[in-house]
């Protein structure tokens, strides 16, 4: 018995060593890593130079106020420099793990794609943190024509008997020059969004703006921002917030870090009227869950069949305080669920004092499965409640989730 256990343990050790051999790694060159780490050290030293205590020795109230304002701005700069140093260090030390494709599968894939006029090189697997396995490869056309990368992904899915889709960061067209492509495993869920808007009377531009970001690894982020007031200035403010958030997220900042960096940028400017709201819904299409973050935004609803849950977290808009404390709400989603995001103008259209309750009944009565039509229907209900008057910009966003 002892001998059998020993033999099984030896087999497991051999298999693990073979797996370690198959799993290879890649990272930035030593030269690039050293330069990134040197940059990170420089940013850290700069951050330390702003780390000073606020002096309380001034007797004059106006001088004390000015000194405090300067100190707060220095703390903002210090925080941003420290965050940049952190990201550079992570990039320098990042290790990409990949596993070369089995020779038999590789041969079948290369030959079959060659018959379709596509040259495939260096196919390998990329393990993901969520337990999924992506695929990376280089593709080019052999006859000079251009071929849809999505069609190539469908062909590869059939050849490998796996549900694969083109990653959002990959090129959409295969051309004669070699390009790198990543194919992700298809997620368990899919999302469709629909928006409907009404602009405040006597205005030509809405102060509300929204954004839908599809990221790799099966994540979809929907954001809605309501600028202070209405018109061109409010629209410019909310658009800037969303633009900054998109750039921060694409650069690799975490969601909460991105929110705080945008908030401190507005806080540093110190404009009394520039305090946009920000609603964020981040959905994981593999796990079927979402995180809701609300910074001064109106109520959000989660509709499950005839049951509706509402979220109205008490939080002030952006730019009022130096730091924003956001407590995300985590919810599991199911096939056929809908998330409804609205701006203040929609809520204010209903009778004062019973606005959220009236909206809850309206959302509960919503029927259909088309997010765009549902958003349009809810906006019409709000317009009827206000007697056809658009006293503030109105935006309704509906997010539907289904099993793939």
Q: What is the pTM of this model?
A: 0.81
74-84 pLDDT, tens digit each: 777 787 788 88
| Residue for token pair 């730019």 | 319
- Pull the structure tokens for residue 249: 């997220």
* Res. 9: pLDDT tops 60: no
Buried b (16+ CB within 10 A) or exposed e, 51-82: eeeeeeeeeeeeeeeebeeeeebebbebbbbb
- Is-contact 50 77, C-beta < 8 A? yes
Please tell me which of 98-102, 217-221, 290-294 the model is most confident about, judged by mean pLDDT.
290-294
45-95 pLDDT, tens digit each: 888 877 777 766 656 777 777 777 777 777 777 877 888 888 888 777 776
Q: What is the 3-state secondary structure (H, E, C) of 198-216?
A: ECCCCCCCCCEEEEEEEEC
CA atoms within 13 A on the CB side of 391: 12
Quote the CA–CA distance of 396 and 359 in Å, as a whole number: 12
* Res. 3: pLDDT tops 70: no
């Amino acid at each position: 018995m002892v001998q059998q256990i020993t033999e099984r343990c030896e087999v497991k050790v051999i298999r693990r060593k073979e797996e370690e051999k198959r799993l290879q790694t890649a990272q930035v060159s030593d030269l690039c890593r050293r330069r990134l780490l040197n940059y990170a050290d420089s940013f850290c030293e700069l951050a330390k130079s702003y780390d000073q205590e606020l002096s309380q020795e001034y007797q004059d109230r106006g001088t004390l106020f000015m000194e405090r304002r300067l100190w707060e701005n220095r703390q903002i700069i210090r925080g941003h420099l420290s965050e940049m140093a952190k990201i550079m260090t992570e990039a320098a030390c990042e290790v990409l793990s990949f596993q070369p494709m089995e020779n038999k599968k590789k041969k079948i894939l290369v030959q079959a794609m060659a018959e379709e006029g596509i040259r495939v090189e260096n196919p390998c697997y990329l393990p993901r943190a969520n337990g999924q396995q992506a695929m990376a490869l280089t593709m080019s056309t052999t006859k000079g024509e251009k071929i849809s990368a999505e069609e190539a992904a469908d062909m590869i899915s059939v050849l490998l008997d796996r549900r694969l889709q083109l990653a959002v960061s990959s090129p959409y067209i295969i051309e004669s020059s070699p390009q790198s492509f990543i194919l992700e495993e298809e997620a368990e869920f899919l999302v469709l969004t629909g928006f409907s808007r009404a602009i405040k009377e006597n205005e030509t531009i809405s102060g509300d703006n929204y954004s839908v970001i599809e990221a790799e690894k099966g994540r979809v982020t929907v954001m809605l921002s309501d600028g202070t007031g209405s018109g061109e200035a409010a629209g410019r403010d909310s658009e800037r917030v969303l633009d900054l958030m998109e750039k921060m997220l694409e650069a690799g900042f975490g969601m909460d870090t991105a929110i705080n960096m945008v908030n401190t940028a507005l806080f540093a400017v110190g404009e009394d009227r520039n305090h946009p709201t920000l609603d964020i819904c981040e959905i994981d299409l593999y796990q079927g869950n979402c995180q809701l973050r609300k910074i001064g935004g109106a109520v959000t609803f989660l509709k499950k069949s005839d049951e509706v849950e509402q979220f109205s977290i008490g939080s002030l808009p952006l730019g009022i305080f130096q730091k924003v404390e956001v407590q995300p709400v985590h919810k599991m989603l199911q096939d056929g669920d809908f998330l409804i995001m609205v701006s203040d103008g929609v809520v204010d259209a209903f009778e004062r004092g019973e606005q959220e309750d009236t909206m809850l009944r309206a959302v509960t009565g919503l029927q259909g499965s088309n997010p765009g039509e549902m958003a349009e229907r809810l906006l019409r209900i709000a317009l009827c409640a206000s007697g056809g008057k658009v006293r503030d910009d109105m935006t309704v966003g509906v997010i539907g989730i289904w099993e793939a």
